[in-house]
Amino acid sequence: MIITAGQNTGQRNIRFMPIHNSDIAEILNQVADLLEILGENPFRIRAYRNGARTVGSFTRNASDMIANNEDFTQFPGIGKDMAGKIKQIVETGTFEMLENLKKHLPAELIKLMNISGLGPKKVAKLYKQLNITNLEQLKSAIESQKILEIEGFGEKTIKNILEEINRLEQKESRRTMISVAQEYAKSIVEYLRKAEGIIDVSVAGSVRRQRETIMDLDILVTCKDAVKVMDHFVKYDEVVKVLSKGRTKSTVLLRSNLQVDVRAVPQESYGAALQYFTGSKEHSIALRKIAIKKKYKVNEYGVFSGKKRIAGKTEEEVYNKLGLPYIEPELRENRGEIEAALSGKLPKLITIKDIKGDLHIHTDYTDGHASISKMAQTAQQLGYKYIAITDHTQHTTIAGGLRPAEIRKQIKEIDSLQIKGVTILKGSEVDILEEGTLDLPDELLKELDIRVCSVHSKFNLSKEKQTERIIKAMDNRYFNILAHPTGRLINKREPYEIDIEKIMKAAKERNCILELNSFPDRLDLNDIYCKMAKEMGVKIVISTDSHRPGDMEFMRFGIGQARRGWLEALDVINTLSLTALKKILKR
């Protein structure tokens, strides 16, 4: 907590440290990881994971909520004790319990859990039996084959671990997820708007293009005095290192290790600079080629004919001078958008306003943290016309999957509920078993309005077998949606191997739909596959995979990904009316 003296009053002004929701969630997850390694009570571990996930789904900054004395216990998964812990993190920027755990366990152990296939139980075995605390020691144990002495570490497991280590070491650095990047961008923009003489502030770069991950933040400003703005910027509370500071550009490193560049540009060049620094590089090169043909020069200062600036104040002005309509930032990857613009065939990209419902939602029947009624009320607040309740089926034991009798009980509850303006569809997230069968009998699948089907096990099957498994599941007449089709978790788990083109072809033939999962660490399908699906005529659903009410706000991340994939409202089934949607769901 930061305390400053009130001017001429002797009072103290209390200002909470600028800590982001993602920082709080990371701290709580680290505590859960270390407790799991120590073999602590599973319910205690789960409490921290639930707290982390709830804070991560907040649509407002937890620091602001605490400053306003808001009660955190109103949110599912946060009791009085957890609320106090969150307050401690916000007020101090640290968590005493985490620091104490680190004294008993090396912090490097947490990094080992970034390796796919090494969960807390395996890391605990490595630590307790071979005293392995870091990556180098793990590699040494593998090379010496000492690791074979530990139960659960067979040759296949070790091979997978080595492949994952190599993948992690080849990465230059871990990229920041778009959800986290936007959180930081919002705070910095709000801070810059308070600078003396500021006029415009805009986020550019890959954040503006809605890339799923970013390397750094690019922010542009126009102002009356750039020097004062730069002085103001480098004093931002989260800055740990000023990498450079100039009259019109400064670069800093934040506490989170995220690099931020702020550039001040002239008002008459603002549009040209915004276009240039939004990128992508490939898109900008394509524009320069068009400019050369017209005997123009285009750069971050404007479009020039000789030495005369003929455009640059707005982006629209820049594109129009080059003979192009405005191209949305999400399309600027040089993947055909220039050609489409020249021929008048740019897509009318989907927006959040087009969405009429969410078709992948979990409740407290399984691993969700709110009732069916509460999730439906949240949908009502969002202006949705329908939602689908899709709790896990019996095979997904880790999430408390429902047995047939429990699903029928849930069906009865849904039938009894009435939420004004919102239709609740009866559904399940049905596991696709290894042999390609579904985790529920056909007579029960028939009773559901919607079946969201997904792979939750056996990720290591060969490309051929994994593809056959999914296509065989699609053969079931009750299969509607393939959820998170490649199984990837950004920065955590690589996609399993599948022939995505073959699966899309099968989906098209069987009238099945592919999901674009909006959860920030999934965004699966990716943008390339979304565009492929559109070109093949395969329908998409954009769903949130919500486990609590706040998660339903994640729809915006799926929309960003969909726009990058050229999707229009007509490509996405949850833009349809309920009547039209039901027709599609009846294969």
Nearest to 435 by CA among 403, 463, 460, 465: 465
For residues 305 and 396, membership in a common domain is answered with: no
For residues 450 and 578, membership in a common domain is answered with: yes
Global confidence as pTM: 0.80
Tell me how crowded residue 150 is: count the other CB atoms within 10 A of its CB: 17
What are the φ and ψ backbone dihedral angles of 433, each rounded to 5 degrees?
-75, 170
For residues 376 and 499, membership in a common domain is answered with: yes
CA–CA separation, 137 and 47 (whole Å) = 31
CA–CA separation, 396 and 368 (whole Å) = 13
Residue 269 lies in a domain: no
Q: Which residue, 170, 191, 216, sits at the end of a domain?
A: 170
Whether the CB-CB separation of 292 and 323 falls below 8 Å is answered with no
Residue 275 lies in a domain: no
Which residue matches tokens 């009053």?
Answer: 9
Whether the CB-CB separation of 356 and 386 falls below 8 Å is answered with yes
> What is the helix, strand, coil percentage profile of the chain, to 5?
45, 20, 35
Whether the CB-CB separation of 456 and 396 falls below 8 Å is answered with yes
CA–CA separation, 371 and 369 (whole Å) = 7
For residues 129 and 60, membership in a common domain is answered with: no
Question: What's the angle, vertex CA 37, arms to CA 78 and CA 55, rounded to 5?
Answer: 25
For residues 337 and 300, membership in a common domain is answered with: yes
3-class SS of residue 332 = coil
pLDDT value of position 206: 96
What are the φ and ψ backbone dihedral angles of 504, each rounded to 5 degrees?
-65, -40
pLDDT value of position 531: 97
Residue 415 lies in a domain: yes
Domain range for 473 is 352-585
For residues 451 and 473, membership in a common domain is answered with: yes
Q: Which residue, 104, 126, 147, sits at the end of a domain?
A: 104
Count of structural domains, the chain: 5
pLDDT value of position 132: 85
> What CATH number is given to the structural domain containing 487?
3.20.20.140
CA–CA separation, 395 and 244 (whole Å) = 54
CA–CA separation, 569 and 348 (whole Å) = 8
Residue 33 lies in a domain: yes
CA–CA separation, 565 and 173 (whole Å) = 25
For residues 136 and 226, membership in a common domain is answered with: no
Whether the CB-CB separation of 265 and 241 falls below 8 Å is answered with no
Give me the residues paired with residue 15 across strands. 2
Residue 434 in tokens = 């290894």
CA–CA separation, 470 and 114 (whole Å) = 28
CA–CA separation, 379 and 552 (whole Å) = 8
> What CATH number is given to the structural domain containing 323?
3.30.210.10
Residue 30 in tokens = 């680290």
Cα distances (angstroms) measured from residue 54 to each of 29, 381, 542: 11, 19, 21
Beta strands in 266-404 (DSSP E): 297-299, 302-305, 308-311, 357-361, 386-392
Nearest to 504 by CA among 465, 545, 463, 471: 471
Question: What's the angle, vertex CA 182, arms to CA 261 and CA 33, rounded to 5?
Answer: 110
For residues 193 and 300, membership in a common domain is answered with: no
Residue 371 in tokens = 């009732």
pLDDT value of position 18: 58
Residue 347 lies in a domain: no
Question: What's the angle, vertex CA 554, arms to CA 188 and CA 427, rounded to 5?
Answer: 175
pLDDT value of position 73: 87
Residue 296 in tokens = 């123009």
Residue 18 in tokens = 């600028």
Give me the residues paired with residue 450 across strands. 427
Residue 270 lies in a domain: no
What is the torsion angle, in degrees rounded to the nearest 10, for the CA atoms of residue 48, residue 548, residue 180 and residue 560? 160
Distance of CA 398 to the CA centre of its chain: 22
Please give the helix or strand (H or E) that residue 200 lies within, else none: strand 198-203
Residue 284 lies in a domain: yes
> What CATH number is given to the structural domain containing 211?
3.30.460.10
Both ends of the chain: CA-CA distance in Å?
A: 58
Query: For the range 459-466, what are the long-range contacts, defined as Cβ-Cβ under 8 Å and sequence gap of 24 or more?
Result: 459/487, 459/493, 459/496, 460/160, 460/496, 461/434, 461/496, 461/497, 462/497, 463/497, 463/498, 463/499, 464/499, 466/496, 466/497, 466/498
For residues 189 and 100, membership in a common domain is answered with: no
> What CATH number is given to the structural domain containing 10?
1.10.150.110
User: Residue-wise pLDDT tens for the chain (587 aa)?
Assistant: 333 333 333 333 334 445 778 888 888 988 888 888 888 888 888 888 888 888 887 877 888 888 888 888 888 778 888 988 898 888 887 788 888 887 777 767 777 877 767 777 888 888 888 888 888 888 888 888 888 888 878 877 888 788 777 766 654 446 899 999 999 999 999 999 999 999 999 999 999 999 999 999 999 999 999 999 999 999 999 999 999 999 999 999 999 889 999 999 999 999 999 999 999 999 999 999 999 999 999 999 999 999 999 999 999 999 999 999 999 999 999 999 999 999 999 999 999 999 999 999 999 999 999 999 999 999 999 999 999 999 999 998 777 899 999 999 999 999 999 999 999 999 999 999 999 999 999 999 999 999 999 999 999 999 999 999 999 999 999 999 999 999 999 988 889 999 999 999 999 999 999 999 999 999 999 999 999 999 999 999 999 999 999 999 999 999 999 999 999 999 999 999 999 999 999 98
CA–CA separation, 179 and 22 (whole Å) = 9
For residues 376 and 289, membership in a common domain is answered with: no
Residue 518 lies in a domain: yes
For residues 100 and 221, membership in a common domain is answered with: no
Q: Which residue, 264, 296, 319, sits at the end of a domain?
A: 264
> What CATH number is given to the structural domain containing 130?
1.10.150.20
Tell me how crowded residue 228 is: count the other CB atoms within 10 A of its CB: 15
CA–CA separation, 279 and 290 (whole Å) = 16
For residues 304 and 358, membership in a common domain is answered with: no
Residue 557 in tokens = 């991340």
Give me the residues paired with residue 572 across strands. 540
Nearest to 250 by CA among 271, 236, 266: 236
